[in-house]
Structure 1
Amino acid sequence: MSLARPSSSLIITAPWRAAAASKADQLPYNYRILMAKRVGGGSFENAYVFPGGLEESSDSQWTTSSHKVCAIRETFEETGILLTSPTTTAPKNTDFASLCANRTLPDIRQIGRWVTPREQKKRFDTRFFLLSIKETDTQLLDQIKSAAVQESELVRLDWFTPAEILQANLAATLPLFPPQFYIVRELSRWRRWQDLAHDPLDLGDTDKPIEPLLLKHQEGMVSLFPGDKAYPESTTERSPSASLDDCDGPLHRIVMKRAKTGGFVECRLLKQLPSDPAPKL
């Protein structure tokens, strides 16, 4: 079993007027999420992810936690978006640390922590952070308009509403991995950026690692999570503790199919836990 390497990822949301202007009045959400399509042949090949990557030793030189710095640095390196106050325009391949000297890093919120299943060769212990940009954050809005991909790792950047991501995944046109699907599915309960910016986002213990158990099933693949009836109680056991077809609850799993090019499509979250929060309308 390989060790999970520390990494961080940043979810950026912005009011639709700043992120895109198509069909906006017809959408049930007034914000969009920045998604990056990965290149083929590497980690998360051809799937859509949030900007992010592995922690580096230089991330620990800041007073802000190294996890947060990693998320902000990786976002800059992959997209050119420099999330500092005051903001500045940076040429491509400019050193992150030198750019951020005497600048304040944003206060981003951790909303989850996921560990790659131990059966996988490449494993990551990833903390996911959220930055919900407001309409009054004019400097940050200017930054995201000038985003450009790091071509060695990404194919393109796109802004989608949560509904667009989930619908495209269901139609098998936007492959995701379980953490990204799960997080978008959870965020979809909030319809307004105003709530994302101010709501405490009751998502439970956001630093408690979630390590899925990935299993083949007649419907395709199943990603089991803690709390599911079939998720093994022992941390050393890697076999389901009950039949996957026994749906007599509690349930906490994603049923999905592998995409031909990488990632998973037609994802469906089955979640029925006593602690589930009420939906945000």
Structure 2
Amino acid sequence: MVVTPFVFDYQSDPFLEFSWKKYQSSDFYQQYYTVQSLLKTKGEPEQIEKGSISFDLPKELVAQSKYNFRVSLKNQGQAVWDKNESYELGVMSYEGNKLTNFLISDIKDIKPFEEKTIDFSLKTNEEKEKEEIKFFLVKDNKTILESKPWQFKILPLPDLNVEVNFWPIRRAKGDNFEVQLFDVDERLVFKKTGVKVDKGLGMIKNIQNIAIDELYRVVILKPGYLPRQTYIVFKTKGNLAKFKSMLPFDLNSDGKFDFRDVKFLFYHLTKLLKTV
């Protein structure tokens, strides 16, 4: 057996004669170029890929709407899941076709034994009696994980009835009400201005961006009045948001009652008295 020591670059004794780089030169000896030209196999040791994709998503959506949801990605393998390492979360239909109405966030630095949530958005178009999709995790276009199926319907847009009065006992009336809907994460999902209310009752047709059997916070606003809110679980029909009487104390229309409203009142009373 022959032992042949070498070093890449050593410019003095005792290892100068073993250096691949020539003495006081930027050039190399032939053995450097010989090794450099050898065919090399990229080092990619096999890693165990294991984990899960889980979610708890609504079963009934509505048409012509946009949704923001989350899935949970749990890494129980050996690799670090990251877009820069060619990992990607996708979605496919039951028939195996990739869907274009989904937009999924990039995967970033999910280490072994970590679990992270991934945001995605979905746009619905026409009504559909049944839709079934799966999420899948791929690396270099090779599927390594699949989720359970998500089955849902896309239903017609529902309506929302509102019932509201003015304090102390007057039935609300006007065409400048505003109604806002917030989901459980306090994201504004729907807003309608210019809502007409007569004799304390109003209706908003074709509510978008809501899921059936899910909880929403409903806020009603009108200039000069403090906002009121209530909670409802949306159904396909018969949705009613019933509010407590609106208080006429938002004199500066900032959505709350404070010292500035009192100041506003005294300012205008003073102006009124000067004209008398």
Output the TM-score relative to the length of structure 1: 0.21
Output the TM-score relative to the length of structure 2: 0.21
The structure with the greater share of residues assigned to helix is: 1
Higher relative contact order, chain-length normalized (CA < 8 Å, sep 6+) = 1
